[in-house]
């Protein structure tokens, strides 16, 4: 009987492992999402359950692969050489593969297309100045550059491009990539960075300048996957070879155009590609209605806000009390909270990812976002708790001491009730700000209203952006109303409005 029980337990464990979904990741631009959907469709065709975590920040997705939060995602050889393994000499794909194996990661052969960076100019600027090469930009220092935020910071982006070509331009702005095309069309900028498989190049009749000093490396599309996937999903690993060399530049350009210009979903485009190219028919997922999508993102957003705010209240109010009772400790507590508050939201998320990855803590999803929101919530609550307690009149404290009330009783019955208007005001302010900050969760797959906003920015869709922005504004108003009601219920009548 023991043997039968042991076998049953082993079978149960084995079935659980087999049933564990494969986690496909993709970056926050259309091409990556399409490739992620192609891999997801291929995996489903092989019988594997799949979760596709879309639109993850570029630096975070690599950390998520290393930590095991995703199993596979599309990448580019140029990014591996210049960004992920910057400072190491990796002259070819074999060298890249050897370096990846040291991290427990495997790489497919190139998928067939090279999506390199390029520098593009407005057609009227090209006609006026007759620009053909990037080095021609040296002669026109007044030209206004607008580059994607990623390009502004990349090792192979603007800093090294400027040095390579000795470019004199000073008017250089960073913005979301999709907004660079709008700014270009409106005449606000003259030169942008582009991708060679970007359909907007032809749509806006842009002139691509020759990289005459060979600054940009090849960006061959590949798939990276964890080495453990060879045992976890051997049929998928074998099936990935069907994609190698099957997507050339024009094919990838056409897929991008179907999404960004013609308005098809990435899922439908990927399904059509698998059917036409590999003869694989996949069932596309049913699109949720607007009401269902808003309801889902609302629940996700509420989870981020309520969890982080609740934890912050539990921690920040006692810290505020300590700061009020021990001024030497108060300077340290408020100082640390102020330092955290000065860190930009995206930078803080990246910092958390770097810290969490070696500790095997989640680097994407809800919990890193909740952690970031928790730290951002601390300062207003600590400050208002400190200010509220310091505002209690000295004669009231002295009267309580004369009556012989112990310190904790004085705090509970006199000081905190008198400080409650300011404490609640700090919590209310924090809660409203928290609703807005939580939208950054779209960058790390945490869901919430940030997801449709990120997708809307990527696809230049006002409807999708409003799908996240309007509910977020309504939630902020609802939170403000809720705390106004709580003030009437919790704050003594004589202290309201203090």
The rounded distance, in Å, linking the Cα atoms of 51 and 165 is: 43
Percentage of the residues of the chain whose pLDDT score is greater than 90: 56
- Reading the block at residue 318, the tokens are 């006692």
What's the confidence (pLDDT) of residue 493?
66
> Which overall architecture, per CATH, does domain 117-209 show?
3-Layer(aba) Sandwich (3.40)
Inter-CA distances, 239 with 43, 230, 243, 247, 327, Å: 8, 11, 8, 15, 65
Q: Which residue has the tokens 């001491």?
A: 401
Question: What is the CATH class of 290-495?
Answer: mainly alpha
What's the confidence (pLDDT) of residue 369?
94
Q: Note the pLDDT tens digit of each residue in 25-76.
A: 999 889 999 999 999 999 999 999 999 999 887 778 999 999 899 999 999 9
Full strand arrangement of the beta sheet holding 207-209: 172-175, 145-148, 191-195, 117-121, 207-209
- Reading the block at residue 241, the tokens are 């070879």
What's the confidence (pLDDT) of residue 495?
62
Q: Sorting pLDDT into bands at 50, 70 and 90, what band is 344? A: confident
Q: Which residue has the tokens 């698998």?
A: 274
Inter-CA distances, 15 with 10, 163, 215, 227, 259, Å: 9, 56, 50, 21, 38
Q: Note the pLDDT tens digit of each residue in 280-325.
A: 887 766 677 889 999 999 999 999 999 999 999 999 999 999 999 8
Inter-CA distances, 347 with 63, 71, 92, 458, Å: 15, 25, 32, 20
Count of CB atoms situated within 10 Å of the CB of 44: 18
> What mean pLDDT is predicted for residues 266-280?
92
> What mean pLDDT is predicted for residues 330-359?
88
Q: Sorting pLDDT into bands at 50, 70 and 90, what band is 345? A: confident
Q: Note the pLDDT tens digit of each residue in 83-125.
A: 899 888 898 999 999 999 999 999 999 999 999 999 999 888 8
Is the confidence at residue 398, as pLDDT, over 80?
no
Q: Note the pLDDT tens digit of each residue in 411-443.
A: 888 888 888 889 998 999 999 999 999 999 988
Q: Sorting pLDDT into bands at 50, 70 and 90, what band is 12? A: very low
Q: Note the pLDDT tens digit of each residue in 227-249.
A: 999 999 999 999 999 999 999 99
> Is the distance from CB of 340 to CB of 375 less than 8 angstroms?
yes
Is the confidence at residue 204, as pLDDT, over 50?
yes
DSSP string, 133-152: BGGGGGG-TTPPEEEEHHHH
**Bridging pattern class, strands 191-195 and 145-148:** parallel
Calculate ∠ Cα 237-17-284, nearest 5°: 60
The rounded distance, in Å, linking the Cα atoms of 291 and 366 is: 22
The rounded distance, in Å, linking the Cα atoms of 406 and 391 is: 20
Q: Sorting pLDDT into bands at 50, 70 and 90, what band is 492? A: low
> Is the distance from CB of 34 to CB of 111 less than 8 angstroms?
no
| 117-209 shares the fold of 17-113+219-278 | yes
The rounded distance, in Å, linking the Cα atoms of 498 and 492 is: 11
What's the confidence (pLDDT) of residue 490?
73
Full strand arrangement of the beta sheet holding 50-56: 50-56, 22-27, 72-76, 221-226, 105-107
Domain ranges of the chain: 17-113+219-278, 117-209, 290-495
> Is the distance from CB of 74 to CB of 26 less than 8 angstroms?
yes
Is the confidence at residue 193, as pLDDT, over 50?
yes
The rounded distance, in Å, linking the Cα atoms of 121 and 104 is: 41
Superfamily for domain range 17-113+219-278: Periplasmic binding protein-like II (3.40.190.10)
Is 272 buried (19+), middle (13-18) or exposed (0-12) by CB count in 10 A?
middle
- Reading the block at residue 153, the tokens are 């910071």
Is 331 buried (19+), middle (13-18) or exposed (0-12) by CB count in 10 A?
exposed
């Amino acid at each position: 009987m023991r043997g039968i029980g042991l076998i049953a337990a082993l079978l149960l464990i084995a079935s659980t492992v087999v049933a564990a979904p494969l986690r496909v990741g993709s970056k926050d631009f259309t091409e990556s999402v399409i490739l992620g959907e192609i891999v997801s469709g291929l995996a489903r065709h092989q019988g594997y359950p799949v979760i596709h975590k879309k639109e993850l920040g570029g630096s975070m997705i690599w950390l998520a692969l290393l930590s095991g939060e995703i199993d596979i995602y599309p990448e580019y050889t140029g990014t591996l050489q210049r960004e992920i393994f910057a400072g190491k000499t990796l002259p070819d794909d074999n060298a890249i593969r050897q370096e990846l194996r040291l991290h427990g990661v495997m790489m497919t052969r190139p998928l067939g297309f090279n999506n390199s960076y390029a520098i593009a100019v407005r057609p009227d600027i090209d006609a006026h100045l007759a620009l053909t090469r990037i080095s021609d930009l040296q002669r026109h220092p007044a030209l206004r550059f607008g580059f994607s935020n990623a390009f502004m910071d990349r090792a192979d982006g603007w800093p090294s491009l400027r040095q390579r070509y000795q470019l004199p331009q000073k008017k250089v702005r960073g913005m979301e990539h999709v907004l660079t095309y709008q700014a270009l069309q409106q005449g606000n900028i003259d030169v942008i960075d582009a991708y060679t498989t970007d359909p907007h190049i032809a749509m806006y009749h842009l002139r691509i300048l020759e990289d005459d000093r060979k600054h940009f490396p090849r960006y061959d599309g590949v798939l990276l996957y964890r080495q453990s996937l060879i045992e976890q999903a051997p049929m998928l690993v074998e099936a990935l070879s069907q994609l190698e060399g099957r997507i050339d530049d024009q094919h990838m350009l056409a897929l991008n155009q179907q999404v960004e210009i013609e308005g098809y979903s990435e899922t439908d485009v990927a399904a059509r590609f698998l059917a036409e190219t590999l003869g694989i028919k996949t069932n596309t997922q049913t699109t949720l209605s607007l009401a269902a999508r808003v309801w889902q993102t609302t629940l996700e957003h509420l989870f981020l806000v309520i969890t982080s705010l609740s934890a912050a209240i539990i921690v920040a109010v006692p810290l505020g009390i300590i700061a009020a009772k021990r001024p030497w400790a108060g300077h340290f507590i408020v100082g640390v909270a102020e330092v955290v508050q000065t860190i930009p939201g995206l930078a803080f998320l990246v910092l958390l990812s770097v810290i969490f990855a070696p500790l095997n803590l989640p680097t994407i999803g809800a919990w890193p976002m909740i952690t970031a929101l928790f730290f951002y919530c601390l300062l207003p609550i600590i400050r208002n708790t400190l200010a509220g307690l310091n505002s209690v009149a000295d004669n009231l404290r002295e009267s309580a001491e004369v009556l012989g009330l112990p310190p904790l009783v004085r705090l509970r019955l006199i000081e905190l009730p008198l400080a409650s208007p300011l404490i609640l005001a700090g919590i209310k302010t924090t809660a409203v700000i928290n609703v807005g900050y939580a939208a950054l969760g779209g960058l790390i797959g945490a869901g919430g209203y940030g997801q449709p906003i990120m997708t809307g920015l990527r696809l230049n869709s006002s409807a999708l952006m409003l799908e996240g922005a309007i509910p977020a504004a309504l939630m902020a108003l609802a939170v403000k109303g809720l705390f106004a009601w709580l003030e009437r219920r919790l704050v003594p009548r004589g202290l309201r409005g203090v």
